[in-house]
Structure 1
Amino acid sequence: MPRPKSLTPTALATTALAVVDRDGLAALSMRAVAAELGVGTMSLYRYVADRAELEALAAELVLSAVDVVPPRNALWDKQVLVLAERAREAVGRHPNAVPLTTAHRHRCPSAMRWDEAVLEVLTAAGFTGVERAVALHALLGYLTGAIGLEHHSPSPGDWTGAVAGMAAGVAEDHPLLAETTAAARAVSPADEFRRGLMVVLGGLRRP
């Protein structure tokens, strides 16, 4: 009988992410990954415990593409801005995997490296203790929320289009919402992300 293939975490992660990119998150399963690799489904259990572990490997592969070295000689808020934009860009290359990067970030070494890099910047800027914890959580909340809205709103990447496509009564019943969505159409997703993050950073800025 042929000798079973020897698989690596990288091979599993790459294959799992390929399935998600091509067929969507719902298509990810032990069976689907095994079929892509040309092995029996049960053989995967030698390497991962279940689908959740596969998901975590795929999330780590996505997040490992983020450069966590902040720009030198830049102000702290500019450094955080760059780190966040890099994370958005890396995750945005795999829209179907966005939920995985949120659900499994606590299991991803690359996510912890990003957190550590941001904390180093905040610490150098004078943030400590509870203030530093609140700052990090505020940044993570904005980052994950903005990426999720961009790629998994009713109309991915264009929540303004989703609202604009609703019944004509929107403008009459919610005039400010209609006016705001019309104005937002002039802003690119990247610019919207940057400007929103600058608002958050402005709120964190130390006196």
Structure 2
Amino acid sequence: MTVTEPARSPRRRRVPRNTLNPDRILDAAVALLDRDGPEAFTMRALANELGVGTMAVYSHFRNKDEINDAVNERLLSEIELPAPAGSTPREQITELCRSVYRLFSEHPAALPLLTSRPMRVDEAIAVIDRQLGLLLAAGLSPADAARAQTAIMHYTVGAALWAVRRRQAESGECEGHGVREKFRERLSDLPPDRYPSLRGLVPELLAAQDTGIAQFEHGLNGLLSGLLPP
């Protein structure tokens, strides 16, 4: 009679004793969120990412909400506020929006994390305050500055998340592998008598899709031209 040994679960790689600290935990949290998204982010998943027991994480953070707040603070600290001297309000707005775009395109989990928690991160408040101040300095009224700031942030964050989605599709991480080729084929198959503009601009549309942050700045420039006084 042959006795089959029970399958062993993979051994967790342990970190050396006394090396776990809040910075390492946040590094792992950001990596986990970027890779798997907020839905998969649990204390157990984070402990597995670190190679420790769950209680080891609790020794540094009381709960997941506390980690989420710390991750928010770390990510938002990557946004660089432009220096007030040496450039116009419009140039500073562009620089600030560029930094926000980079954050959300590089860390797509930052937005659901930020919107799921009360706004108490100083960095987020500082970004909004600086944008409003620059819009006022550019000559907008308080009401117009508030509306413009909202429109600019909607465009910036939306463009960043669109870039993330497209990148995921093109890399095959989600349904839509080969999305660029499918997009080209779909446009090329459209009847030219019904969709003459789309059929006539297939190369230009594909080129615009490939320019990344340059396309974002093109749209931002047009938006600011319409919002700011000449």
Q: Normalised by the size of structure 2, how large is the TM-score?
A: 0.70
| Number of the residue aligned with 1:176 | 197
Q: 1:136 aligns with which of 141, 145, 149?
A: 149
Gaps of 5+ in 1: none
What code does the residue aligned with 2:218 have?
Answer: R
Match of 2:227 in 1: 204
Task: Tell me, yes or no, if the aligned pair for 1:155 and 1:162 is still in contact at 8 Å.
Answer: no
Q: 1:71 to 1:206 in 2, by over 3 A?
A: same
Report matched runs for 1:189-200 at 5 Å: 189-200=212-223
Gaps in structure 2 of 5+ consecutive residues: 1-16, 172-177
Identity of counterpart residues, as a percentage? 26
Contact 1:80/1:118 (8 A) holds in 2: yes
Q: CA deviation at 1:74?
A: 1.8
Name the counterpart of 2:82: 69
User: 1: distance between equivalents of 2:131 and 2:24?
Assistant: 30
Pick the aligned partner of 2:169 from 155, 179, 201.
155
State the Cα distance separating 1:20 from its structure 2 match: 2.4
For residues 38-187 of structure 1, the aligned pairs below 5 Å read: 38-42=51-55, 44-45=57-58, 47-50=61-64, 53-70=66-83, 72-94=85-107, 96-100=108-112, 103-104=115-116, 106-153=119-166, 155=169, 163-166=183-186, 169-170=189-190, 172=192, 174-187=195-208
In the aligned structure 2, how far is the partner of 1:102 from the partner of 1:184?
33
Q: Distance in 2 between matches of 1:44 and 1:164?
A: 48
Question: 1:11-34: per-residue Cα shift (whole Å, max 9, x none)?
Answer: 433221111234444432211112
Given residue 158 of structure 2, which amino acid in structure 1 is its aligned partner?
G
CA 74–58 in structure 1, closer or farther in 2 if over 3 Å, else same: same
Distance 1:165 1:71, change over 3 A: farther
2:9 aligns with none
Q: Which amino acid aligns with 1:197?
A: L
| Greater C-alpha radius of gyration | 2
Mark the CA change 1:132 to 1:160 in structure 2 (over 3 Å): closer, same or farther: farther
Alignment RMSD: 3.4
Larger mean CA deviation between 99-108 and 133-142 belongs to 99-108
Q: Which residue, 23, 26, 29 being the options, matches 2:42?
A: 29
Tell me the amino acid that sits aligned with residue 184 of structure 2.
Answer: A
The 10-residue stretch of structure 1 (96-105 or 114-123) with the greater mean CA deviation from structure 2:
96-105
Answer 1 or 2: which has greater helix percent.
1
Q: Output the CA distance in 1 between the equivalents of 2:203 and 2:71.
A: 37
